[in-house]
């Protein structure tokens, strides 16, 4: 992909937000449809473009949801037996807001605790963005 420093999208830069939420109601973490909906809504509200979503419910419990984004990807991996979930949202460019997506997911899941970290990836074009 070529670098166009005048555009918000198409830059070799991005933010990767990793989160661990604990103390979530186990029923929410085992509800595939609910998780699809809250992920889709959180991504849309954070200006990410959802291209496709797939999910897998495991036996006896647990769900993985993957979202292919125009900007990159997002995933949820649940552990209802522990009331825990791993969240991963990576977006390229400066248009989408992955931190907001994770915050909206946390609001929907109401964890007792959350651990969130953001990793800057690629080149730092922040000085070129107004």
Active site residues: 72, 77, 92
Question: Tokens 């649940």, residue?
Answer: 78
- Pull the structure tokens for residue 46: 């954070």
Peptide bond into 60 cis (omega under 30): yes
- Pull the structure tokens for residue 3: 């670098």
List, in sequence order, every residue forming a beta bridge with 79; answer none if it has no partner. 84
């Amino acid at each position: 992909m070529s670098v166009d420093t005048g555009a918000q999208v198409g830059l070799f830069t991005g933010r990767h937000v990793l989160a661990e939420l604990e103390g979530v109601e186990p029923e929410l973490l085992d509800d595939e449809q609910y998780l699809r909906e809250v992920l889709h809504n959180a991504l849309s509200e954070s200006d990410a473009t959802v291209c496709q979503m797939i999910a897998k419910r495991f036996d006896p419990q647990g769900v993985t949801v993957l979202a292919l984004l125009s900007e990159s990807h997002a995933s949820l991996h649940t552990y209802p037996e522990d009331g825990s979930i791993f969240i991963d949202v990576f977006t390229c460019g400066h248009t989408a807001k992955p931190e907001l997506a994770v915050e909206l997911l946390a609001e929907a899941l109401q964890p007792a605790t959350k651990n969130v970290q953001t990793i800057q990836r690629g080149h730092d074009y922040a000085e070129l963005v107004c």
